[in-house]
């Protein structure tokens, strides 16, 4: 006689199953034309079917939640990219304005300086 390890013993008595492997059988009710041993068979089949259905519903719900989460995540990413591009464009415009203002001020300053030089040279000549 072969002795089972504790892990094998635990596996032997576990009632977990893959819900895709269990086929639904049309069992008669617990009373209709049933013998004394059929009630336990009926209860076992009904319990397995209910567990299979609940497992399938749970998996479907998980998949739906994952899809919803992924959809929302992609929407958040898209909105963030739009905001980033908008802000980058705003920064670029600001830099351009600063650059134009600096060029304008430099030209104006040079023009003023030239005017001052001309007026001072005119005064010296007079």
> Taking the domains of the chain in order of start, what are their residue ranges?
18-118
| pTM, full prediction | 0.46
35-48 confidence digits (pLDDT tens)? 677 778 888 999 99
Contact of 46 with 27, CB cutoff 8 Å? yes
Distances (CA, A) of 8 to 15, 63, 99: 13, 32, 78
Q: Tokens 């319990």 appear where? A: 47
Query: Which one is predicted more confidently, 26 or 85?
Result: 85
Q: Does pLDDT of 49 surpass 60?
A: yes
Strands (DSSP E) found in the chain: none
- Residue 31 makes CB contacts below 8 A (sequence gap 6+) with none
């Amino acid at each position: 006689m072969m002795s089972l390890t504790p892990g094998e013993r635990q596996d032997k008595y576990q009632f977990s199953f893959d819900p895709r492997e269990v086929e639904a059988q049309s069992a008669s009710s617990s009373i209709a034309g049933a013998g004394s041993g059929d009630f336990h068979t009926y209860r076992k089949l009904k319990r397995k079917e209910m567990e299979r259905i609940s497992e399938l519903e749970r998996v479907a719900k998980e998949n739906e939640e994952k899809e919803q989460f992924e959809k929302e995540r992609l929407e958040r990413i898209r909105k963030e990219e739009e905001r980033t591009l908008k802000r980058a464009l705003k920064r670029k415009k600001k830099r351009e304005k600063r650059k134009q203002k600096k060029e304008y001020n430099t030209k104006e300053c040079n023009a003023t300086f030239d005017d001052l030089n001309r007026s001072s040279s005119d005064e010296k000549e007079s």
